[in-house]
Structure 1
């Protein structure tokens, strides 16, 4: 059994040749190498946050499951946090504090990394408001672009900066960095109000309807992700889809031009792209904004 030593910590590796993305032949070894290469860009978005992962032991076409609790046999050096929930139950989450944790997660076939929107020390008050733009099958890329730019314009009306990223699947997400001053309910109500305004401006292509069968083929403005313990895929997290796409931050100029094609950002080309363009989401961690009264 191979062992990788990182920062004087030993990580046991197993089944490195196991294929996770069959169409491309990408293996667990490829996933671990990706995590090592993007660690300087990925880790800041995971540090000090409870982490939920989705594991695919048999690859993206096999059985998958979400995991919150740290599994038995986890290394002693792993950083974790125990959180009590309203029902009195306790969950011990992984906190990805270093590259060796990413390697361990990769060996667990954790293809998706979902950090909380709030940090340790202020778990009840998120650092971000998030808009999850969820397209339907008939939604065009031009419509996604129009909706995203409209969300940005409404936010600018409140003097709020925002940052877009591809979900890695078909959607786009917009983050608004905040001072951790507001309860999740306050943040959700603000995002809901902005979504309602966007829907009033673009009623022909957007909906606030939660039930898929009642959306009429329109793009869903999802504000309900702003909740305690709810998560989105982290920036640069892989996704369990053919091509091994990743959730990639964009500039607003890239959104406006929308020359993006499926497969532009994958575990194969993202490390080199990050070395060229840097972390477009770095500001999300540094800018602290206050919500307006609406």
Structure 2
């Protein structure tokens, strides 16, 4: 029996490429009957904006064996059989080991990734030519139980003011789920640990201004019904869904850039693989000029040093990281108290 397949013709810097899509009718989002071919066509439709946001960066692919409800895994090294227009770049992971990681340079490469059963794209905050020094400061606003997308909106607005006071211009996108992602373009002069400290400094300032609504507590038992500023998303090899990347959620939502003037009335469920292409054609890309200029994290680093001098030092790292200098004990506070 012949295998079902089709071909998409995709524009590239070198003309056009024909990208094979096997099993194009395989349903990825059962609730809406959206297929692998629907996803590939979506990537083509948003290709320029997708590439501007995610291209020329090491990227991790979140791949699925069947529907989004089935088995999944994260792919960092380029899969075997990658076409010659898909390249990789060596990156250093928190363990100190170095491995090649996929880089997307053209829309056809993203469509090929869909052919390899990718649904979610997770780009690094650094460029392929300088992977150790981020050119984006990224802050993940993560609603905790008892809060949601609406509660994250005023927090994001205040965060915008905090970053502006630090000399940074910020951009925002929906996470595609319940949260919001705030990005600021920065000069790629400092490595990940310093950028993480800049994020912590901004998060602490935000927490001081909105203590009833914001938390930087790493341990869930201490967060309460507030918006958690996930500073550990700023670590090396920690990524979030890229701009215009679909999410593996039942409504096929997209992590969608929006204008700050849209935020107050935004609804994350409005941005899906069926609606975002028309939105781009109508309103354009709110992130089109993100990297026209880049800011400095020097002010935030000054805030970090001020807080360290006041007794606010390092915060916990993810459990798979090596023990870091100055890090507090990786013990859940309630367990520490019970042992004491």
Give ranges in structure 2 of 5+ residues lacking alignment.
304-340
- Alignment deviations for residues 5-31 of structure 1 (CA, whole Å, 9 cap, x no partner): 444544222110000000000000100
Give ranges in structure 1 of 5+ residues lacking alignment.
none
Preserved contact between residue 45 and residue 285 of structure 1 (Cα < 8 Å): no
- Alignment deviations for residues 126-173 of structure 1 (CA, whole Å, 9 cap, x no partner): 001111100013114442122111111111222321111100011001
Pick from 129, 136, 140: which aligns with 1:132?
Answer: 140
> Which residue of structure 2 aligns with residue 247 of structure 1?
255
Helix, strand or coil: the match of 1:194?
Answer: helix
> Which residue of structure 1 aligns with residue 151 of structure 2?
143
Pick from 242, 267, 270: which aligns with 1:264?
Answer: 270
Preserved contact between residue 148 and residue 178 of structure 2 (Cα < 8 Å): no
Quote the Cα distance in structure 2 between the aligned partners of 1:79 and 1:158.
36
- Alignment deviations for residues 198-236 of structure 1 (CA, whole Å, 9 cap, x no partner): 111111121111222331122101112112222111110
Give the CA RMSD over aligned residues.
1.7
TM-fit CA distance, 1:50: 0.6
Quote the Cα distance in structure 1 between the aligned partners of 2:134 and 2:223.
29
Matches within 5 A, 1:203-242: 203-242=211-250
So what's the TM-score if we normalise by structure 1? Answer: 0.94
So what's the TM-score if we normalise by structure 2? Answer: 0.81
Helix, strand or coil: the match of 2:154?
Answer: helix
Pick from 189, 194, 202: which aligns with 2:202?
Answer: 194
Quote the Cα distance in structure 1 between the aligned partners of 2:93 and 2:223.
33
Say whether residues 1:43 and 2:56 are aligned partners: no
- How many residues in Structure 1 have an aligned counterpart in Structure 2? 292
Matches within 5 A, 1:254-293: 254-255=262-263, 258-291=264-297, 292=299, 293=302
Quote the Cα distance in structure 2 between the aligned partners of 1:31 and 1:279.
19
Change (3 A) 1:90 1:159: closer
Helix, strand or coil: the match of 1:175?
Answer: strand
